[in-house]
């Protein structure tokens, strides 16, 4: 945590911004920034901490402007949450989960409206004339989101558990288990690996993830999503699980939820496929940042 340190020299008081950083081997080091007689503002403290974090973070595809924007969003979000009462936070979280559930389900073909999704999740009211699979899909997503928020790590066990929670009462077989049949991604040039190769592909993905934890969280989250969707390890529900684990990375790093909108589904699919086929990762990352920015502006986080 960053804090203010003051030193009295003669009759003058001098200020330093300080952070204790843990080094390899368990030793600690104090990193200071001299501010002179000027008392640092809250923005000074935030910028100092962000610079220390940025110095340790690697990025291949994010521009300086995008890094600055993501920093503003992160700290704007943090400040926003800090001002909420417990009641307001519950309402904020419910609205976020409802929107995410609506969009991520609608991307996969659900006909539930945002209002209907809210009635199901908030008041347990079942809209008339709706397929039970869609009702279960909404309820399942809320439970899956809650589980994802409590996850401590990204593991094979947690990925399978998320799939079980997402697809229970919807799929009749291989719920929470890797597929045993070949699959095709509708309208895509991607050919996912054969079923026999899926376990090793997931192990490889998790190995890649653990080796690249020093990437910027937003970049890491996007690349993880791209690679996971290309493997397509389950019979169904891959998109929903993929968007959950993408948000696991973001939420764990203190960033707000990334809610990909169904209204821009075609751009989502187009940039995702381009990243999978031609390794045009920046196109997908740029697309998701625009989505992030729209929500952040609406919430006043930038």
**Residue 260 is part of a domain; what is its CATH number?**
1.10.3290.10
Instruction: Give yes or no for a contact between 30 and 52, defined as CB atoms under 8 angstroms apart.
Output: no
Q: How many residues does the chain have?
A: 302
Predicted pLDDT at 197: 97
Predicted pLDDT at 169: 96
Domain of residue 166: give its range.
Answer: 65-299
70 and 146 co-located in one domain: yes
Predicted pLDDT at 184: 83
Predicted pLDDT at 23: 59
Instruction: Give yes or no for a contact between 106 and 99, defined as CB atoms under 8 angstroms apart.
Output: no
Assigned domain for 59 exists: no
Predicted pLDDT at 26: 62
Assigned domain for 53 exists: no
159 and 285 co-located in one domain: yes
Instruction: Give yes or no for a contact between 120 and 152, defined as CB atoms under 8 angstroms apart.
Output: no
Assigned domain for 133 exists: yes
The structure's pTM equals: 0.83
Predicted pLDDT at 56: 65
Predicted pLDDT at 219: 97
Predicted pLDDT at 39: 85
143 and 291 co-located in one domain: yes
Assigned domain for 272 exists: yes
Predicted pLDDT at 137: 97
Kindly list the catalytic residues: 232
Instruction: Report the alpha-carbon distance of residue 212 to residue 206 in Å, rounded.
Output: 10
Predicted pLDDT at 49: 72
Determine how many CB atoms are found less than 10 A away from the CB of residue 281: 19
Predicted pLDDT at 256: 97
| Mean pLDDT, each 10-residue run in order, the chain (302 residues) | 83 85 67 84 76 72 94 93 95 97 96 97 91 96 97 97 98 96 83 96 97 95 97 96 98 96 95 92 96 96 92
């Amino acid at each position: 945590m960053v804090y203010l340190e003051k030193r009295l020299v003669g009759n003058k008081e001098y200020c330093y911004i300080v952070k204790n950083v843990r080094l390899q081997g368990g030793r600690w080091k104090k990193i200071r920034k001299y501010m002179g007689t000027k008392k640092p503002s809250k923005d000074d403290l935030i910028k100092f901490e962000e610079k220390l974090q940025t110095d340790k973070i690697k990025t291949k595809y994010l521009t300086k402007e995008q890094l600055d924007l993501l920093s503003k969003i992160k700290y704007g979000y943090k400040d926003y949450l800090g001002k909420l009462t417990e009641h307001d936070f519950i309402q904020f979280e419910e609205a976020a989960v409802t929107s995410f559930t609506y969009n991520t389900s609608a991307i996969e073909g659900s006909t539930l409206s945002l209002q209907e999704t809210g009635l199901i999740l908030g008041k347990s009211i079942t809209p008339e004339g709706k397929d039970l699979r869609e009702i279960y899909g909404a309820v399942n997503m809320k439970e899956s989101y809650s589980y994802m928020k409590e996850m401590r790590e990204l593991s094979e066990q947690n990925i399978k558990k998320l799939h079980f929670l997402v697809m229970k009462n919807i799929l009749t077989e291989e719920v929470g288990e890797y597929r045993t049949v070949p699959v095709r991604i509708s309208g895509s040039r991607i050919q996912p690996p054969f079923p026999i190769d899926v376990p090793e592909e997931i192990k490889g993905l998790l190995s890649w993830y653990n080796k690249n934890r020093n990437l910027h969280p937003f970049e890491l989250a996007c690349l993880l999503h791209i690679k996971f969707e290309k493997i397509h390890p389950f019979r169904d529900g891959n998109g929903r699980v993929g968007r959950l684990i993408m948000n696991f990375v973001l939420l764990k790093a203190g960033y707000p939820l990334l809610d990909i909108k169904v209204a821009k589904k075609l751009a989502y699919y187009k940039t995702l496929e381009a990243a999978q086929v031609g390794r045009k990762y920046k196109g997908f990352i740029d697309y998701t940042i625009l989505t992030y920015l729209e929500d952040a502006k609406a919430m006043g986080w930038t």
